[in-house]
């Protein structure tokens, strides 16, 4: 939901929960698309699943919100309990002409 919900807008304040996944696809879906030829040659379902899990690992490592914060596309990673007050605070800041 990160990009669908408007992530990476330079004029926005982007908050994230620790469970955010920054990706168009989940890790297995991304690995399946990128490595489709390699996976197509494996007929055994268990072997296919094991290889897909292995190929998905780099996607898992790089789709977390801390990676987004390092790249400056996420302003703050918050506890879900803090969501309401932090969103109100962000709207108030933007309403006063505040920016990221």
Q: What is the pLDDT of residue 36?
A: 95
Closest to 73 (Cα-Cα) out of 5, 1, 13: 13
Q: What is the pLDDT of residue 10?
A: 61
Q: What is the pLDDT of residue 1?
A: 47
Alpha-carbon distances, residue 1 vs 5, 44, 97, 98 (angstroms): 6, 33, 26, 25
pLDDT digits (tens, 9 = 90+) for 4-62: 555 556 667 888 999 888 877 888 999 999 999 999 999 999 999 999 999 999 988 88
Mean pLDDT of 66-90: 88
3-state secondary structure of 56: helix
3-state secondary structure 58-89: HHHHHCCHHHHHHCCCCCEECCHHHHHHHHHH
Q: What is the pLDDT of residue 9?
A: 60
How far apart, in whole angstroms, are the C-alpha atoms of residue 27 and residue 100? 29
pLDDT bracket for residue 93 (50, 70, 90): confident
- Total residue count of the chain as it appears in this document: 100
């Amino acid at each position: 939901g990160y990009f669908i919900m408007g992530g990476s807008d330079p004029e926005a304040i982007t908050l994230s929960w620790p469970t955010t996944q920054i990706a168009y696809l989940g890790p297995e879906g991304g690995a399946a698309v990128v490595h489709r030829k390699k996976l197509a040659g494996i007929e055994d379902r268990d072997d296919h699943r094991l290889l897909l899990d292995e190929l998905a690992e780099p996607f898992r490592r790089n789709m977390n919100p801390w990676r987004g914060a390092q790249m400056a596309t996420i302003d703050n990673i918050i506890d879900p309990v803090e969501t309401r007050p932090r969103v109100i605070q962000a709207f108030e800041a933007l309403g006063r002409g505040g920016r990221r």
